[in-house]
Amino acid sequence: MTGFGRKLAKGAAALGVVGWALAAPPQAQAAPPDIVIGAVYPLSGNAAPIGHDAQVALQAMTDIINGHMDMPMLMGQGGGLSNLGGARIKLIFADSQNNPQIARTEAERLITQDHVVAVIGSYTSFTAVTISQICNRYEIPYISAENSSPTLSKQGLAWFFRPSPTDIDFSGAMFAFFAGIGKQTGRPVHSVAIIHENSVFGTDSSRIQTGLADQAGIKVLANISYQSSTPSLSVEAERLKAADADVVLPTSYTSDAILLVHAMHDAGYTPKAILAQDAGFIDQAFLTASGPLADNIMSRSSFALDAGKSRPAIAKVNAYFKPLDNGKDLNDMTSREMTAMQVLADAINRAGSTDHLKLQAALKATDIPGNQTIMPWVGIKFDATGQNTEGNPVIQQYQHGEWHTIFPFDVASAPAVWNVGK
């Protein structure tokens, strides 16, 4: 093209743009800016399956809040955040690699570079320690979705909020179940064997369970700790077999949970009952990899898929979530992740602003009735440490390929298969 030709073409293009601008109708009022929320999860490494499920769950809840799906729960009507002109939530994920140092760096990057208004995380309690501390330093709320270590609430952090129950509540429910099932069947629990991974999650869990067993007059015949992602748990299984307690209480992440049930089987040991501290034992990958070895395993849970009667949103939310997560039903992790996003969205909406102090005040004033969530909890109200005081756990059992609520008895959907004392 000649120099004159190029000038002609540029001129025509400029005229075209001006003409289009003049012809365009006056623009509607600009959409409010997106509310950016950070999420730190293990998206690679040994805990990546859980991280990916969390990614789907948080995005699904964001879709519900931003969209128009009309779910029967708080923020379920959609249309964005009404008090911020219908602003939409935008999620930014960061990969912690399940490493506390990387989790801290990634959380800091989200805060300083992406300017997130809050951070949600993080599956493992040891990554939550560093994330919650860095959030506290920058005065950005950290919503702990499913970290269950009670130590996290005792750090004295003003920006830490946890809707989920802790292992104190969970373990309390386990021992209440032992008392209840003992009365109901006449076959009480006399002894337990504890096995746990040795990070803050496992050690906290073991400490609480030992204390509760002591109070209940139940003997702790073994208390075994191991390092997560160990190549073998066969000796640990032998020690459990030698203890032969009424109930085995494992606190394990997915890979170790798979190894443990196989190791117990290979040692020729079938515990009378296994009551797990959630985590790896409720992961679909564990259930698939363990096959029949997972039958009748019990776990504490803060979610009950079969509580649809009192929580009408469960069925609709699950119907939306399940195809997104490769056919996996909502579970104890993914339900709590969705709830964490719901709690945060509600607080931002009530604050009517993304100002961190207003958001902190709104979070502190959170008061959500249980029936406005998908959780079987009484509700969500935070105490001075940021811990929900109205989250009550349930005990579930994996029977015939499905999780059934077996305790508290008044909300149970199936009787417990109870082999203790037989």
Partner 1 sequence: MSAAIIIQVAIGGLLMGLVYALVAAGLSLIFGLMDVVNFAHGELLMLAMYATLVLHQAIGLDPLVQLPLVAALLFGVGVAIYRGLIARALGIRFNTGMAQIFVTFGLSIFLVGTAQLVFGSDFRAITDGVLSNRTLALGKIVLPLSQVAAGLVCLLAFAALVLISRTEFGRALEATREDRDAVALIGIDRDKVFSIGWGIGAATVGIAGVMLANFYYISPTVGANFALIAYVTVALGGFGSLLGALVAGVLVGLVEAMTALVMDPSLKQVGIFAIYVLVLMFRPRGLFGRL
Binding site for partner 1 (CB under 8 A): 43-46, 48-49, 51-52, 198, 224-227, 229-232, 234-236, 238-239, 241-242, 254-255, 258-259, 262, 265-268, 283-286, 288-291, 293
Residue with tokens 């964490």: 340
Of residues 26 and 268, the one with the C-beta less far from partner 1 = 268
SS3 of residue 100 by DSSP: helix
Rounded Cα gap, residues 159 and 137, in angstroms: 9
Rounded least distance, CB 284 to partner 1, Å: 8
Q: Are 186 and 158 in contact (CB under 8 A)?
A: no
Of residues 132 and 331, the one with the C-beta less far from partner 1 = 331
**b or e along 5-21 (b: 16 or more beta carbons within 10 Å of the residue's beta carbon)?**
eeeeeeeeeeeeeeeee
Rounded least distance, CB 263 to partner 1, Å: 9
Rounded Cα gap, residues 215 and 325, in angstroms: 41
Of residues 88 and 322, the one with the C-beta less far from partner 1 = 322
Rounded least distance, CB 47 to partner 1, Å: 9
Of residues 238 and 306, the one with the C-beta less far from partner 1 = 238
Rounded least distance, CB 52 to partner 1, Å: 6
Nearest alpha carbon to residue 120 among 78, 76, 164, 81: 164
Of residues 169 and 256, the one with the C-beta less far from partner 1 = 256
DSSP H or E segment with residue 193: strand 191-197
Of residues 48 and 315, the one with the C-beta less far from partner 1 = 48
Nearest alpha carbon to residue 169 among 397, 403, 378, 417: 378
> Phi and psi dihedrals of 356, rounded to 5?
-65, -35
Nearest alpha carbon to residue 87 among 35, 27, 30, 29: 35
C-alpha angle with apex 128: 127 to 130, nearest 5 degrees? 70
Rounded least distance, CB 97 to partner 1, Å: 10
Of residues 77 and 229, the one with the C-beta less far from partner 1 = 229
- Distant-in-sequence, close-in-space partners of 106: CB < 8 Å, separation ≥ 6: 40, 94, 95, 96
Rounded least distance, CB 53 to partner 1, Å: 9
Rounded least distance, CB 280 to partner 1, Å: 9
Of residues 228 and 301, the one with the C-beta less far from partner 1 = 228
Amino acid identity, residue 91? L
